[in-house]
Chains A and B, each alone.
Chain A
């Protein structure tokens, strides 16, 4: 066998192995997705949206409490994380730029983005739950909000930087003060990007379980009391799935399916908006 022939054979083997690993990965991931869809859809029914949690064995049990709790937690986390993230991103892109402080903030928030979320939960437990004396929706929302800030901050920073400098200069040339230029020109130019960042930020925290375990904790019943423990889809999935009761496990699959569809939907929507925004230019 000549050297060239040998290379051709090695090439075939290596490419086959790569393709094989891609197929293996795909098989596992679609296995998980398949199970999620099959189990989830078969467990779905109207009762889920009508009834709150019930002891195992009750026919009239559902996920209303967890769905509403999840919505409340995400809504509050968004209200905390989005304004702070956007303002901080605005500082980095419009004021801090290449200063040392701006770079430090970018670096730290990059690390924060990958930091263990359960640690954030422990932190919020110490600074919110202990002083309050009990678990609460507030604590859960604050934990999620903290996780959200770096995601929004970085996308806002990146997206604002994509707005061409001439646009800002043109607005300045008309005599507009800087805050007006940012609010009316820069934000408008980066609208699609910021919106995508917000959606991805919501998707990111929407799937978090660990930081809620000991902040908003869980509750098997419907509640809107922000000062009390608040049920969430994710913690409910964890509790129901690890329970020995089959009907709870079923509800767990239904919750897992609803949660995944919500998060995939947000991710897809975010991409579509960004793509449409790019195309429009």
Chain B
């Protein structure tokens, strides 16, 4: 791949050069991080620091970001905030400013009998068990949702097949959605969130992975072209839990998914995968956060994106924080983008904060390359027709993520969707 930007660092492997701002102990530490950090969901979620506030101070610790269930705690957005600086606020269609009282996407769950599916009110005790809003749009959704879907995989149940959650948009009224997924102790399951239709929706997905549970959550965004979707998907992992999260964003005018994973007990593992394909004019954003706050946990992140057409814009920001107490952490995050035509833009920002040197490994990488005329010439000079050559490259590139899904029907559907994206040559 012709790398336009590459950045690599592997802490704990001294033979490799460290990137600017890194020492053997990790990234240059701000005094903020010296303060004792607290459990991520507990009362004092906002770390105090010298700046007084908690919101969007560039270069401050990711741990310092304001979290609150109250919309009023978040200032109105200006677009200058660190976590909103890439997002075209005008195209959010009021998700950050309006009362979200439009009709929320309908929820239809297909699940084996062993899985409990409930529709509950705001006062259900399980609401808030795994998540707390980290931005204004998420808080707005929290303040405005009227009912929530709670999906529970009971303890020690191994679910055959997947739990399929179809969320169908009900038009362009700005709306709020809330889903809670609970994988109880030692259960094993796969949950698919399938977003379709037209919607303007802010969504909170709470994911609780209890001790020893194994859960895969696949979030598919195959919206219509006019949809606007902001989705906070926060996971809380118990001891020895295994969580795999796959985000696939293909459709919609603006899609912004912010997954996070927080560890509460040792021995847990999280894998965060993502695939996105932006066409002309689409804005597809993904910002993830892995919070290593306990010892001996693992995380692995890989997001891959393709872009084609004028003003196709993708954003990937990967924040990984290894707190002082998270000794023995092993983490790696990477983002790869393939730019297929002129006029597209991929932003990629891997952030790694390390507050302890006593870790097994920590690394991050980002590369954005072009599929250009040279690639095309090479493949065609071997007899391969142009369209086949283009497909060959993109299919191969994205297949690495698709094959992580391991639900054959969805893998086939996404492969076909990628082919359709490629066929829509808007360059």
Whether A and B are associated in the same complex: the answer reads: no
**Which residues of B line the A interface, CB within 8 A?**
none
